[in-house]
Chains A and B, each alone.
Chain A
Amino acid sequence: DVKVTQSSRYLVKRTGEKVFLECVQDMDHENMFWYRQDPGLGLRLIYFSYDVKMKEKGDIPEGYSVSREKKERFSLILESASTNQTSMYLCASRPGLAGSEQYFGPGTRLTVT
């Protein structure tokens, strides 16, 4: 059974703080993703990674960076948190086979005050 875990379920940070969100998957998947989900907007892709140390920007990368030093771990970094980054953050992974689905972690609800 695929398992994707995220470091925190709930997080409260202050404006300007540096925030780290961690994601770990245990199925040796090549690809990992970070999304944010906001009401009425659906899931929007922030960044994804298709290999260790490789990353690509998604649709809304501004204000975020990522790190993938090991295959199983993908980190999302908010360099200087702002209130408009208050959201639900979802990590996902998928194997390298075309057409395969994504498996999601439980999400981190981040509030920036």
Chain B
Amino acid sequence: RKEVEQDPGPFNVPEGATVAFNCTYSNSASQSFFWYRQDCRKEPKLLMSVYSSGNEDGRFTAQLNRASQYISLLIRDSKLSDSATYLCVVNMGDNFNKFYFGSGTKLNVKP
């Protein structure tokens, strides 16, 4: 079983739609959680950290559910520029330098 699992998609949505991604992780001792965005042939860039209380940044909302061991990302009012692959990243806690990456969820926002 992979440490971090994501639905690879692609999610094809029209502009203005709301879309949600989930990511599950295997280690209940995981400490830190992140969503990264990766454009085609580019490096991953931090979208947002995920806090226990949930957090929001503009159109983006991240939630953490420790009991069920998943994190989610909600994108409201999708823009064409949101088209990218979204990576779920988890630090397992046994070593704060060991990060595990999901294989990514591809989002295509269509006009």
Contacts and interface: CB of A to CB of B under 8 A. Distances in A.
Determine if chain A interacts with chain B: yes
B103 A40 contact: yes
A45 B31 CA distance: 18
Contacts of B34: 101
A33 B43 contact: no
Most buried by B among A43, A45, A58, A104: A43
Contacts of A74: none
Contacts of B44: 43, 90, 104
Contact of B99 (A41, A45, A103): A45
Given A42-B101, A45-B99, A56-B97, A106 B32 contact: no
Contacts of A106: 42-43
A31 interface: yes
Chain A residues touching B, majority SS: strand
B91 to A, nearest CB: 8
In this complex, the member of B4, B31, B46, B96 whose beta carbon has the largest number of chain A beta carbons within 10 angstroms is B96
B103 to A, nearest CB: 4
Contacts of A99: 31-32, 49, 91, 96
A94 B45 CA distance: 13
14 contacts: A31-B97, A40-B8, A43-B87, A43-B101, A45-B98, A48-B98, A50-B97, A94-B97, A99-B49, A99-B91, A101-B46, A102-B99, A105-B43, A107-B43
| Closest A-B pairs by Cβ, 5 of them | A42-B103, A104-B43, A43-B101, A42-B101, A101-B46
Interface of A: 31, 33, 35, 40-45, 48, 50, 56, 58, 90, 94, 98-99, 101-107
